[in-house]
């Protein structure tokens, strides 16, 4: 048996000014791709383990993934998908590790179009797809995949398990032990990412229903919150049910879960406090007890893993304006400032503009960079190894990194945008996050498994960057209306599909 295994991951924020060329994906081809995926806690890693366990011949055309950013460059999308399709001829089955919310300059449905092309080459071969919980599902994906399974955790710590689930069903299908059929519902509901965490609220209850339905006989049930910062026809929540031969039963499950989601639609919306209010809350939290643990200020309006620039300085400047001190913040992505700080050298006292240099024309945001004064206290290569539960063991390369100490704040400045996967983002350059009074993190969720345990409080801060939760900031032109919460009077019935 010959199985094609590929990984192509990108969550596209169509409002992000961060470019997504081919090099952003760090593509690995053939044997290099196999080695890049083998042994990883990804869906592709699980696919390889499953295929090897049954003695299959494995074809790995490409393993590629990029951090969330703007639309994928047309030539990058064409090249990567062409590479996968070209390798499909002669394969008996396909296992794909996809995101589900890829938008390219030449495609509003990156995954759906890829699957459609694969199906033309392999009209009868079974295709299994592992998806991110934030995938935006479309009809072509449902039409051309035999099996689709998404993560059930956010933060995502079940990537490998999701791949194992999807791949195992594919092998059971080939063996004739199951007959997968898929049912799908997509309520007109654009969720907020901060309401897709799976440890509380409406999303937790929806995922619990999915798990219950799997125990009740469904082969797989997935709740995909969607990714609302994509200006496409339906960046909406979805329910995908994979049944065993009985489409009617699968359809009933999809309808029932989607109906509950729609009934609880307000629970999938998030309304942030004004930034000055959030900073005042953080100050109060820090002073509430004598316990010396940091208060986390999560700058979710400039979140790297949703397409943020990591360049917005609103949270830090507001914190300084309100007199907060003992702050550690970073990474702030500013290659120009990094170069200037390195030229000044360790020990130098400097005044220079940091951050607020990247415009977001689609949102009519043209920031004005402000100066910071301080001492250059450390310079590093910006590398550390993740010890936390997500991407454990992966080496992170942030580019050249500098620590600027202003007295009130220790500011880590890097050459690239970065997520807070690990305490190493601070400790690698000599900053002890436990010793800070306040930690400003440009993160929504991935920081939580590592940073929440050391914190006395968590305050969510909306800097109104390109990953803001304020949907009124975003000029949605392609979204099919009405849709909740953009249109409060939206009506929908799960029985209507």
pLDDT-based confidence at residue 266 (cuts at 50, 70, 90): very high
Q: Alpha carbon 109 to chain centroid distance?
A: 17
Tokens of 341: 């700080």
Give me the percent of the chain exceeding a pLDDT of 70: 100
DSSP strand pairing (2-9 vs 57-59): parallel
pLDDT digits (tens, 9 = 90+) for 378-434: 999 999 998 877 777 888 999 999 999 999 999 999 999 999 999 999 999 999 999
Give the burial class of 345: count Cβ atoms within 10 A of its Cβ; 0-12 exposed, 13-18 middle, 19 or more buried. exposed
Q: Over the stretch 330-365, which tens digit does the pLDDT of each residue have?
A: 899 999 999 999 999 999 999 999 999 999 999 998
**The token pair that represents 119 in the structure block:** 């199906």
Query: Could you identify the residue written with the tokens 């907060």?
Result: 324
Task: Summarize the confidence of residues 103-130 as an average pLDDT.
Answer: 98
Beta strands in 99-179 (DSSP E): 127-131, 147-150
Tens digits of residue pLDDT in 36-77: 999 998 999 999 999 999 999 999 999 999 999 999 999 999
**Beta carbons within 8 Å of 58's beta carbon, 6+ residues apart:** 3, 5, 34, 48, 51, 52
At 385, give phi and psi (nearest 5°). -110, 130
pLDDT value at 497 more than 70: no
- Within 10 A of 344 (CB to CB), how many other CB atoms are there? 17
| The predicted structure's pLDDT at residue 495 | 82
Residue 129, CA distances (Å) to 56, 232, 305, 482 in order: 18, 21, 22, 30
Beta bridge partners of 4: 59, 94
Q: Which residues pair with 72 in a beta bridge?
A: 20, 104
Whole-structure pTM value: 0.93
Across residues 162-173, what is the average pLDDT?
98
Q: How confident is the model at residue 306 (pLDDT cuts 50, 70, 90)?
A: very high
CA atoms within 13 Å, Cβ hemisphere of 234:
14
Q: What is the mean pLDDT of residues 299-318?
A: 94
Half-sphere exposure of 302 (CA within 13 A, CB side): 31
Provide the 8-state DSSP code for 71: P
- Report DSSP letters for 326-377, one per residue: SEEEEEEE-HHHHHHHHHH-TT-EEEEE-S----BGGGTB-----EEEEEEE
Q: Quickly count: other Cβ atoms within 10 Å of residue 460's Cβ.
A: 18
3-class SS shares of the chain: helix, strand, coil, % to 5? 35, 25, 45
Domains, the chain, with CATH or none: 2-268 (3.40.50.10350), 275-468 (no CATH)
Considering Cα of 42, then 45, then 51, then 54, what sign does the dihedral take?
Answer: negative
- pLDDT band (50, 70, 90) for residue 464: confident
Q: Are 218 and 245 in contact (CB under 8 A)?
A: no
Question: What's the CA gap between 420 and 140, in Å, rounded?
Answer: 34
Give me 351's structure tokens.
């005044």
Instruction: Please report, rounded to a whole number, the percentage of residues in the chain having pLDDT higher than 90.
Output: 92
Of 124, 110, 42, 47, the closest CA to residue 81 belongs to 110
Give the pLDDT band of residue 466 (cuts 50, 70, 90). very high
**Predicted pLDDT of residue 446:** 87
**What confidence score (pLDDT) does residue 315 get?**
97
Per the structure block, which two tokens stand in for 52?
A: 């090897």
Query: What local confidence, expressed as pLDDT, does residue 189 receive?
Result: 98
CA distance 421 to 411: 18
**Phi then psi dihedrals of residue 42, to 5 deg:** -115, 170
**Structure confidence at residue 463 as a pLDDT band (50, 70, 90):** confident
User: What does the DSSP 8-state code read for residue 388?
Assistant: S
Question: Whole-number mean pLDDT of the chain?
Answer: 96
- Using an 8 Å Cβ cutoff, are 432 and 329 in contact? no
Helices (H) and strands (E) in the chain, counts: 13, 20
3-state secondary structure of 167: helix
Question: Which one has a higher pLDDT value, 392 or 487?
Answer: 487
Q: Cis check for the bond before 331: say yes or no (omega within 30 of 0).
A: yes
Residue 115 has pLDDT above 80, yes or no: yes
Residue 183 has pLDDT above 80, yes or no: yes
């Amino acid at each position: 048996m010959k199985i094609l295994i590929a990984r192509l991951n990108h969550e596209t924020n169509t409002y992000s000014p961060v470019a997504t060329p081919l090099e952003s994906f760090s593509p690995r081809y053939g044997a290099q791709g196999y080695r890049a995926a083998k042994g990883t806690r990804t869906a592709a890693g699980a696919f390889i383990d499953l295929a090897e366990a049954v003695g299959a011949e494995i074809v790995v055309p490409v393993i590629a993934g990029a951090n969330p950013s703007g639309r994928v460059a047309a030539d990058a999308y064409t090249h990567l998908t062409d590479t996968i399709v070209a390798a499909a001829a002669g394969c008996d089955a396909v296992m794909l590790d996809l995101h589900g919310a890829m938008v390219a300059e030449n495609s509003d449905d990156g995954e759906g179009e890829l699957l459609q092309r694969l199906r033309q080459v392999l009209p009868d071969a079974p295709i299994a797809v592992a998806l991110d919980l934030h995938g935006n599902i479309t009809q072509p994906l449902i039409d051309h995949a035999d099996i689709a399974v998404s993560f059930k955790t956010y933060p995502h710590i079940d990537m490998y398990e999701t791949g194992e689930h999807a791949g195992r069903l594919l092998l059971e299908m080939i063996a004739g032990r199951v007959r997968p059929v898929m049912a799908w519902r997509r309520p007109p509901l654009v969720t907020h990412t901060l309401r897709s965490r799976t440890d509380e609220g409406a999303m937790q209850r929806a995922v619990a229903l999915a798990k219950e339905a799997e125990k009740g006989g469904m082969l797989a049930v997935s709740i995909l919150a969607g990714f609302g910062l994509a200006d496409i026809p339906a960046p909406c929540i979805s329910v995908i049910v994979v049944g065993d031969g009985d489409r009617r039963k699968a359809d009933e499950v999809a309808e029932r879960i989607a109906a509950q989601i729609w009934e609880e639609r307000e629970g999938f919306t998030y309304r942030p406090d004004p930034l000055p209010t959030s900073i005042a809350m953080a100050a109060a939290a820090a002073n509430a007890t004598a316990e010396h643990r940091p208060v986390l200020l999560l700058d979710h309006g400039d979140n790297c893993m949703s397409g943020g620039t990591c360049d917005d300085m609103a949270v830090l400047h507001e914190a300084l304006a309100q007199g907060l001190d003992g702050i550690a913040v970073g990474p702030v992505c500013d290659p120009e400032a990094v170069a200037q700080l390195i030229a000044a050298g360790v020990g130098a006292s400097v005044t220079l503009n940091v951050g607020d240099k990247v415009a977001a024309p689609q949102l009519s945001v043209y920031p004005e960079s402000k100066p910071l004064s301080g001492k250059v206290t450390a310079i590093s290569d910006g590398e550390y190894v993740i010890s936390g539960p997500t991407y454990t063991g992966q080496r992170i390369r942030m580019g050249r990194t500098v620590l600027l100490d202003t007295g009130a704040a220790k500011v880590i400045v890097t050459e690239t945008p970065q997520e807070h996967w690990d305490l190493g983002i601070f400790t690698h350059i000599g900053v002890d996050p436990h010793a800070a009074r306040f930690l400003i993190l440009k993160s929504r969720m991935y920081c939580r498994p590592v940073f929440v345990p050391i914190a006395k409080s968590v305050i969510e801060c909306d800097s109104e960057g390109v990953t803001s939760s304020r949907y009124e900031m975003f000029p949605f032109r392609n979204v099919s209306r009405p849709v909740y919460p953009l249109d409060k009077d939206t009506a929908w019935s799960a029985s209507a599909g």
